[in-house]
Amino acid sequence: MSQQKILITKRVYPEAVEFLKARFEVDYEGTNAGLTTDQLVERSRGCTAVVSQLTDKLGADVIARLDGVKIIANVAVGFDNIDVPAATAHGIAVTNTPGVLTETTADFAFTLLMATARRIPEGHAFVHSGEWKTWLIDLLAGQDIHGATLGVFGMGRIGVAMARRGKGFGMRILYCDAQPVPAEVERELNATRVSKEELLRESDFVSLHVPLLPQTYHLIGAAELQMMKPTAVLINTARGPVVDEAALADALEKKTIWAAGLDVFEAEPKVHEKLLRLENVVLAPHIASASVATRRRMSMMAAENAAAALTGTRPANLLNPEIWK
């Protein structure tokens, strides 16, 4: 067994802990609360790896205090919680967990789209409340999915998987991305690359699949919501700050757009108070990748990335390859 020590900052699936314990000394914070920044820095002393989660905010100031750490293995595909350039400057490798959550996340994004379009949470609450008295011609009437236009912002792995689901439901696919997808993918999905404005104006459903970057912060704000159809539905399973939450709450209240399905929020776990009382929004607690099998795979993938780096093997999901000589 290696003398190196790994800090796991928060509860993960047990096989990942066992895998690491069989190879290294492990300091496991197996709680739901995880560690405060100061606790994380303190507990990282003497550790060469940190297995982190998206609730660990590892900005440049924190990274500068991670003495001796060689790798941060994040249990998520998103890594906006980590200042990767700062890690690179300190010679710290950073890894994420891409691929394993693609289909699960797209399943959820499409589920949220359907639940929002067809008002399932409202129907569920209505039946439970005992208010249901009779069949009515317009009772909880929603929006059709088949034949509608799906606009996908960010045509990476998850965006493509979402578009594939839309195609399966007979939707027309538009997408907006800095890079076009390969021609065979466009053909398979019958997808058309359009400008941001065209996507917003033409789509019945707009689904966000971009990473959170300075360029995507508030990608959807008041002006963009104003461009959307009054019958349109916005789906966000990407990152909260991609949408200006206050502007969205206003747009939903004024019916500038018809509805939204949100899995992510600007200041999780806080949710804009207006969104909590509006009926035309379906809310979920950042669970798009949360199938048991996928969260197990994500835990294991992060553990394997950490183990690889500590044994001198280039980790499979290295985000800053320039540090690996």
Instruction: Tell me which residues touch ligand DGY (CB under 6 A).
Output: 54, 76-78, 101, 289
203 with 232: CB under 8 angstroms?
yes
Q: What percent helix, strand, coil does the chain show, rounded to 5?
A: 40, 15, 45
**Selected catalytic residue, list 43, 164, 193, 286:** 286
Smallest distance from ligand DGY to CB 49, Å: 19
**Selected catalytic residue, list 239, 272, 295, 297:** 239
**Selected catalytic residue, list 197, 268, 277, 314:** 268
Provide the terminal-to-terminal Cα distance of the chain, rounded to the nearest Å: 25
Smallest distance from ligand DGY to CB 183, Å: 29
Q: Is 268 a catalytic residue?
A: yes
Nearest-CB residue for ligand DGY: 78
Smallest distance from ligand DGY to CB 74, Å: 8
Closer by beta carbon to ligand DGY, 227 or else 261: 261
Instruction: Enter the tokens of residue 287.
Output: 């669970």
Q: Is 249 helix (H, G, I), strand (E, B) or coil?
A: helix
DSSP for 86-122, written as a single string:
HHHHTT-EEE---STTHHHHHHHHHHHHHHHHTTHHH
Smallest distance from ligand DGY to CB 289, Å: 3
Q: Is 209 a catalytic residue?
A: no
40-54 b/e with 16+ CB inside 10 Å = b? bbebbeebbbbbbbb
Instruction: Enter the tokens of residue 241.
Output: 């700050």
267 with 240: CB under 8 angstroms?
yes
Closer by beta carbon to ligand DGY, 78 or else 166: 78
Q: Is 286 a catalytic residue?
A: yes
Closer by beta carbon to ligand DGY, 101 or else 310: 101
Environment class of 238 (CB within 10 Å of its CB; exposed 0-12, middle 13-18, buried 19+): buried
Smallest distance from ligand DGY to CB 304, Å: 16
Closer by beta carbon to ligand DGY, 101 or else 249: 101
Closer by beta carbon to ligand DGY, 143 or else 320: 320
Smallest distance from ligand DGY to CB 264, Å: 7
Question: CB-hemisphere CA count at 13 Å for 236?
Answer: 25
Residue with tokens 């914070």: 29
Closer by beta carbon to ligand DGY, 54 or else 228: 54
Environment class of 179 (CB within 10 Å of its CB; exposed 0-12, middle 13-18, buried 19+): exposed
Residues with active-site annotation: 239, 268, 286
